[in-house]
Amino acid sequence: MIESTRIFSGFAVPDVPAAKAFYADTLGLGVTEQMGGLVLDLGDDHHIFVYPKPDHVPATYTILNLEVADIDAAVDSLEASGVRLLRYEGFGQDERGIQRPGGKHPGPDIAWFTDPAGNILSVLQPPAE
């Protein structure tokens, strides 16, 4: 068995300065530069390493989900920052691009967007308990 001292995830971007500006300024995450990449501070001592990869190809799935208390306010903030929400055919998203619970979708309210590298992210609001 591996005895790890810490576990964290990572993903690639082709342009570290653009990623730093997006994650720090647009999303408001704590960002530090380390080892030629970035460390995103997710709180509670959870981090993600963002590393440079010149031939980066974005994933076709969501790489990072940001849980929010108010999805409408989060979408307002993203749009005010110039972020465009993704629209997926057949997902039943509303006019704002938010998929809301009901019918085929029993999960949280969720909206998807991309970072400057084309990586897919989401904001989601869990259902009220």
pLDDT tens digits, 90-126? 888 999 999 988 656 678 999 999 999 999 999 999 8
Predicted TM-score of the model (pTM): 0.90
pLDDT tens digits, 8-31? 899 999 999 999 999 999 999 999
- How far, in Å, are 34, 35, 44, 48, 59 from residue 120 at the CA level? 23, 24, 23, 15, 7
